[in-house]
Structure 1
Amino acid sequence: MADEWSTKQVLKYIVINEKLSFEAFGCLYKGFFKEDETKLIAVKMVKIALFDENPKLLELFKQEIAILQKINHPNIIRILDVLRTNTYVYLILEYCADGNLKKYIARKKDNRLSEVEALLFIKHIVEGFKILYQNKILHRNIKPDNILLHQGIAKITDFSVACIMDSDMNAPSYLTKMGTPLYMAPQILKGQPFSSKSDIWSLGITFYELLYGRVPWQAKDFDSFSQNVLNEPISFPIKPVRSNGAKELITKMLQIEEKDRISWEELFENQIFRDNHQINQINYNLQELDDFSKQIFINLQYLDQHLVVRQIIQIHFDSFQKQQEITSKTFGEVKSKSINYGQDFNTENFLLNQQKQNKIRAAMLKYYNYFLFERNVAFFFNYVIQKTIFLKPKLNLPNLPYFRLISLIAKNQLIHLERVREQFSKEVHEKFNIETWQNFLKSEEFKQLDLLIKTDIQSSQDLFFKITIAFRKVAEEELKGQINQLDAELIKDSLNLNETTFKASEVFYNCYREIIGDNINHLLKLQSEEVDINLLILNLSICLNPYEEFKEIYFDFDIFYEVTEQLKFNEIYERLLQKRVKLLVSK
């Protein structure tokens, strides 16, 4: 089949000449159900003539189909149908809107992910391997290119060279040398027997690449590469800083000898994949805590799980441009290059509609990412509150200014969240196209986002109210004492700012900036060289103008928190100078 076709109908499916990826045996194309073009699919087209040339490939292809039909798991690509014509076999697969992991990391700064995000994807892949291991399936070609992403979920794909083991999964066997050299286990490189632990090696290389933006061994040619793998011990760059747990696991996965390499059972049970954040290791008895401390702990648990909400929805601009190019051709030309293996399909109407839908979809995704960005900005304030509470014993802050500070930051978080929710209630948005906005309000993305914001607001309100109660109690005690009238008025003004209407006002923000500035000055006067205290100064300065730090809607909050928490004292000092903190707080 020439590459000049634009669309083709294969029974109840329409295939578009838009390559999603290249796999063994054939390309993966985008498609959809003829009766419902919103139901997208991926279509693997394989030439039957390929098997005439090499009958062994036919056995591999049959095995790929058998494996996909056998496995049903959220972290394994799902097969929907298999069709055959005189020329091609078509595998109809579930569509993953966000492309593969290789392309995803290529869009990131330094081609790497934060450790939190890398662990999330590796955990998904490991979950997929649990069922592969149970079914004695060896993938043989694990790499970022063969991990697809859909709405934040990683899925293993391309089982073109996979095989089902007859023997023990951990027993080395002589198998055909297949895969991608950069990710091949040493035994495969040397042509020796290997077991399912070869997939552990490939996964270890992938994990390393996600964390550091490159594979651990490189060379100009295959022989040099093989020698580097066999003779050079694995090393980890100083930057970016990674946890000992991650580096130790990768080291175990990348042992040269299979007998020394971590087993699948050990990998499945590794502590790094459990929900073992520090907060969950603290043995709190909530019944023994006062109401304020209890709410702080509950909020910390929520923050631990929801500090950054990442929804991987990428706009495929290349695809969008391709559709524009196709629709710009004369309809006669397009129609002449459309191929039907079923009833007539109106290509012209489809392409026009696709162009329109692509524009709407691109705009809707921008709305989605914009609101998600605003939500993540709001939760930076929550993060600063928890840091302030944790450091209170070191801050030398009396209770009144301490509670006043965290109550104002908590209210500012709610102002940001309520601003988002208020926009969700608009049938017509003054900043957005009417039709696109109304489509957005009907979308699944909006429903998920709306539910998230409501849950966020409830959690944040619970925290704010407990802080307000504690602040009011401390303030009332102060007012009972002997204080001058000016101080009494300041306390009353602060209490009035904590009313439960979460609307932005000039009065609130003037007070907010003044109080945060006063606290930054107080912390600077401590002249502490403790990293945590100076980080708090930096974070409070960001609270004064968050959009100076978080500049665009695709800002990577995971990387921000990772880098910020690894800063040394001199690096924090440089950041503060860049922000002109001394000048700012002296105004």
Structure 2
Amino acid sequence: MSEDWTTKKIDKYVVVNKTLGQGAYGTVFRGFLQEDETKQVAVKTIKIATISDTPKMIELIKREIAILQKINHPNIVRLFDVARTNNYLYMFLEYCADGDLKDYMAKKDEKRLSELEAVIFIKHIVEGFKRLYKQKIIHRDIKPANILLHQGVAKITDFGFARVMDSEMNDPAYLSRLGSPLYMAPQILEGQPFSAKCDVWSVGVMFYELLYGRPPWAAETAFQLLENIKKQPLKFLPKPVRSQKVKELITLMLRVQEKDRISWEGVFEDPTIKIDEERMKENMRNILREKDEVSKSISLNKLYIDQNLVVGYLAKNPINTLENSNQSTLDASSEARSQSAKFSGQFDSEQNGEIIMSNYRNEKKRRDAMLKYNNYFLFERNIAFFFNFVIQKVIKLQTIQMLQLANDNYFRLIYLIAKNQMVHLERVNQQLSRKEHDKFDKETWGRFLVSQEYQKLIQLIQMDMKHSSEFFSEISKKCNQVQQEELQNGKASSQTTNLIRNFLSIRNNNFEANDTFHMLYRDVIVENLKIIKNLNSKETEANLLILYLTICQNPYEEFKDINYDFNTFYEETENLSLSEIQEKLLKKGIK
């Protein structure tokens, strides 16, 4: 296409001169349905003159279209329509608003993800491959740039090198040598027969890269890469620490010989990928059998935070966004109709083109602003659950008698931290309920309130509050009982008696923190820090709790940015040595 066009009407779509990227063959532009500008698509354009003399290229394009037309899955980019003019072939594809996995990684510290986040990405991708495997399709070009992101869901794209297998999926066959060398299986690099396990290798390389920020092997040429793969055994770096089960799965995926490499069936059933629903149900049944209500509540709380400690961009369970609509739309457009008119009839006027380009120039700013709002509230929510995480640490160490806190002191501590969690969650909930927000632009805030991000966020916070308030209620009742018993036995010192009375004055379900609450919260944490430090424990767990309780006093000193990676924080902090913990405590003025 020439550079001087603004929009083109192709069938029922309008193509906009706004480049999204380059595919295996062709440029990808923005586009939308003519009848509704907010229903957006990605448009892959292929110049017919460049492929007309290349039968192989024509075959690949036909194959890509045929493959995509038969797939409708939330983790695979969908093909809606195909059109042809005298000069171009157009493929109208699902539009993904949030870039690709390569760019997502590039924004992370050290260009890597936490293990939890990496596993969630791989689960999304494996869900897509379940459908491909069922339909005997191999992709042959899996890499981070070919994993698109939309509203928390990862989607496989660019099927330019894909094909349907004539033989069984695990039977090697002589196929064309296509793909990106860094992620190619050694059989493809060597020109040997290969099977669907070539994609297992590519996903394994990508999995390793997500975890460590670099591929397991690298080289300047494909020949040298193959030599490195053959001669250099797969190695896992000592830092960051990764779980054994994840390393075992990657090892199976990166077996050099195909006959030794895990199949897709094996990947689907691997414990890293497959959720053991029966085990989860049995755990729940065991918890519900507990007769002590406090113990039951503690167990339910632990189960909840094990699954929901950190919430970020990525959906833990892939969401079928195609159920509610037959296209993907950018939130900034979908929650509030563009100020431009819906276009019908002729679409070649200069005025309409200028309106569209102006809208697109503003669109990214709106999207970025709304994602910032979303990140802000998730940040505050994740801080609230840091308090919950610390409570579970206190309970665990008290249960194994590492802390040896007096019963009244122990329950005061976990009650106050639990209430602080509720204070934070209530503040988030109240802010999300406002029609206007004094910190945010009025128009953009209005758009955010009707966005899909907002709907998911408010559902999350309400679920968090329901669970956390139930836990808090049980802790509150038990704490009240213990404090009353301490007063009634008449053995408490005057200082302890005053502390208990002050404490009982703030024991309520009012989740607005006042000065008395803040004073008690600070004093009780300081008191317990002294007790734990006086144990002179050389136990790593006890010193780690000292670090966590110190952070509880002012979490914003530790968690300073709304894009803070909480998953990485837990991952790295939980794997600190005793000397590393003590060094961190010294920096915080704790000796």
TM normalised by structure 1 equals: 0.91
Q: Is the 8 A contact 2:8 2:347 kept in 1?
A: no
* 5+ residue gaps, structure 1: 314-318, 320-339, 583-587
**One-letter identity of the residue aligned with 2:574:** E
Aligned residue number for residue 391 of structure 2: 385
1:118–1:210: 8 Å Cα contact kept in structure 2?
yes
Q: How far apart are the structure 2 equivalents of 1:98 and 1:91? A: 20
Contact conserved, 1:10 with 1:342, CA < 8 A, in 2? no
Match of 1:241 in 2: 241
* Within-5 A mapping of 1:26-175: 26-175=26-175
Give the alignment of 1:388-537 within 5 angstroms. 388-392=394-398, 393-483=401-491, 484-537=493-546
CA distance in 2, matches of 1:281, 1:247: 27
Q: Distance in 2 between matches of 1:183 and 1:226?
A: 11
Aligned to 1:347: 353
RCO comparison, higher one (Cα < 8 Å, 6+) = 2
1:310 aligned partner: 312
Secondary structure, in 3 states, of the residue corresponding to 1:8?
strand
484-493 or 84-93: bigger deviation: 484-493
2:295 aligned residue (289, 293, 307): 293
Tell me how far apart the structure 2 counterparts of residues 381 and 173 of structure 1 sit (CA, whole Å): 55
User: Cα 1:341–1:106, aligned 2, differ >3 Å: closer, same or farther?
Assistant: farther
Q: In 2, Cα distance between the equivalents of 1:7 and 1:342?
A: 8
Q: Secondary structure at the match of 2:453?
A: helix
Post-superposition Cα deviations, 1:198-220, rounded to whole Å, max 9, x if no partner, equal 11111111111111111111122
Q: Is the 8 A contact 2:98 2:150 kept in 1?
A: yes
Q: Of the candidates 363, 367, 374, which is equivalent to residue 361 of structure 1?
A: 367
The 3 A distance-change label for structure 1 pair 382 and 280 is farther
Letter in 2 for 1:311: Y
**Structure 2: distance between partners of 1:175 and 1:406:** 62
1:344 Cα deviation from its structure 2 partner: 4.4
Q: 1:513–1:544: 8 Å Cα contact kept in structure 2?
A: yes
- Give the secondary-structure state (helix, strand or coil) at the position aligned to 2:154: strand
In structure 2, the partner of 1:375 is 381
Go from structure 1 to structure 2 and tell me whether the alpha carbon gap of 1:285 and 1:206 turns closer, same or farther (over 3 Å shift): same
Equivalent residue, structure 2, for 1:3: 3
For 2:14, the equivalent position in structure 1 comes to: 14
SS of corresponding position for 1:81: strand
Query: What is the one-letter code of the residue matched to 1:553?
Result: I
- For 2:457 and 2:11, the matched residues in 1 are separated by 37
Tell me the equivalent position of 2:254.
254
Per-residue displacement from partner, 1:56-89 (whole Å, max 9, x unpaired)? Answer: 1111111101110111111111111111111111
**Cα distance per residue 1:507-535 (max 9 Å; x no partner):** 21111111111111111111112111111
Deviations 1:425-470 (A, max 9, x none): 3223222222222222222222221121111111111111111111
Per the alignment, in what secondary structure is the counterpart of residue 348 of structure 1? helix
What corresponds to 1:284 in structure 2?
A: 286
Q: Is the 8 A contact 2:29 2:44 kept in 1?
A: yes
The alpha-carbon distance between structure 1 residues 66 and 176, as it changes in their structure 2 partners (threshold 3 A), is same
Following superposition, the deviation at residue 4 of structure 1 comes to 3.9
Of 219-228 and 138-147, deviating more is 219-228
Q: Which moved more, 1:30-39 or 1:415-424?
A: 30-39
Q: Alignment partner of 2:272: what SS? A: helix
Q: Supply the distance in 2 between the matched residues of 1:169 and 1:274 (Cα, whole angstroms).
A: 21
Q: Deviations over 1:349-386 (max 9, x none)?
A: 22333344444333222222111111111111111111
Q: Distance in 2 between matches of 1:435 and 1:263?
A: 51
Contact 2:100 2:144 in 1 (8 A): yes
Structure 2 residue runs without a partner (length 5+): 316-329, 331-344
The verdict on how the C-alpha distance between 1:155 and 1:353 changes in structure 2, with shifts beyond 3 A counting, is closer
| C-alpha contact 1:11 1:342 (8 A) present in aligned 2 | no
CA separation of 1:280/1:121 partners in 2, compared to 1, >3 Å: closer, same or farther? farther
Query: In structure 2, how many angstroms separate the alpha carbons of the residues matched to 1:571 and 1:6?
Result: 58
SS of corresponding position for 2:286: coil
User: Take 1:521 and 1:364, find their aligned partners in 2: how far apart are those partners?
Assistant: 44
SS at match of 2:20: strand
Displacement after TM superposition at 1:485 (Å): 4.0
Contact 2:189 / 2:222 at 8 angstroms: preserved in 1?
no
Query: Matched residues in 2 for 1:430 and 1:401: separation?
Result: 40
State which drifts further: 11-20 or 302-311: 11-20
Q: Secondary structure at the match of 1:14?
A: strand
2-structure distance, mates of 1:270, 1:341: 55
Match of 2:565 in 1: 556
Match of residue 338 from structure 2: none
Distance (Å, rounded) in 1 between the aligned partners of 2:377 and 2:580? 31
Q: After alignment, is 502-511 or 25-34 more displaced?
A: 25-34
Q: Distance in 2 between matches of 1:191 and 1:439?
A: 53
Q: Is the 8 A contact 1:279 1:304 kept in 2?
A: no
Contact 1:197 1:263 in 2 (8 A): yes
Cα drift, residue 343 of structure 1 = 5.8
Q: Which letter does structure 2 place at the counterpart of 1:560?
A: F
> For residues 236 and 485 of structure 1, do their structure 2 counterparts lie closer, same or farther at Cα, with a shift above 3 Å needed?
closer
User: What CA distance in whole angstroms lies between the structure 2 residues aligned with 1:572 and 1:253?
Assistant: 35
1:24 aligns with 2:19: no
2:28 aligns to what SS in structure 1? Answer: strand
The 1-side partners of 2:478 and 2:377 are apart by: 32
Is 1:408–1:498's contact at 8 Å kept on the other side of the alignment? no
Residue identity over aligned pairs, in percent, reads: 53
Q: Match of 2:149, as an amino acid?
A: L
Letter of the 1:427 counterpart:
K
What is the CA distance between 1:148 and its match in structure 2? 1.0
The 10-residue stretch of structure 1 (445-454 or 129-138) with the greater mean CA deviation from structure 2:
445-454
Task: Give the superposition deviation at 1:341.
Answer: 8.7
Q: 1:356 to 1:234 in 2, by over 3 A?
A: closer
Q: Name the aligned partner's letter for residue 395 of structure 1.
A: L
